[in-house]
Amino acid sequence: MLRRPGAALRVRRAAPADLPQVVAIDASATGLAKPAYWQGILRRYGRGGARRRFLVAEAAGRITGFIVGEVRDWEFGSPPCGWVFGIGVPAGEREAGVATRLLEAITADFRRQGVTTVRTLIARDNRLVLSFFRSQGMMAAPVIPLEKAIG
C-alpha cells in the first residue's frame, strides 16, 4: 500500500509488462477484464507518439495506477485541448495522491504541447471519478455530448 512513509511513486510510460496489472486495476473498477482492449491502447498510446500518452504510476515494483489521454485538434471548432479518457487506481491506493500525480504528469505533457485546456467525459452516475476530477479543479465544459442508439 502506497500510504507507507518512504513508498516512492514514479510516473512513467506504460510498458508491455505493465498490462496484466493495468487490466486487473481496470477490471476491479469495471467488473470486466479487457486484455485485448488494453493491448490496443498500449499499441496506439504506449509509444507516446506525437500527442498520445499512456502513463502508469509505479511504487515498490507494483503498478498503482494508470492514465490515458491525447491532444485533439479542432473538434467541432474547439482549439487543441488535452483529453483524458482513462484513469484508474486500485481501491486500496485511493486518497494517497496517485491519481493526482498521474493527472499532473499528463497535463504537464499537454502544456508542453501548447495546450491550455484538459477535458474528460464521465458517466453522470460515476460520483467517485466525478468528485476526483472536480477536486482537481475541473468543471462542466462548454460542450454538450449527444448520442443516439443505433442498434
- Domain of residue 28 covers 10-135
For 28-40, write each residue's pLDDT tens digit.
999 999 999 999 9
pLDDT of residue 75: 80
Q: Which three cell numbers stand for residue 24?
A: 486487473
CATH of the domain at 79: 3.40.630.30
pLDDT over 90 (residue 145): no
d(CA 97, CA 19): 22
Question: Is residue 2 a part of any domain in this protein?
Answer: no
Q: Is residue 146 part of a domain?
A: no
Task: Say what the pLDDT of residue 5 is.
Answer: 45
Q: What percent of the chain has pLDDT over 90?
A: 79
Tell me the pTM: 0.91
d(CA 26, CA 33): 7
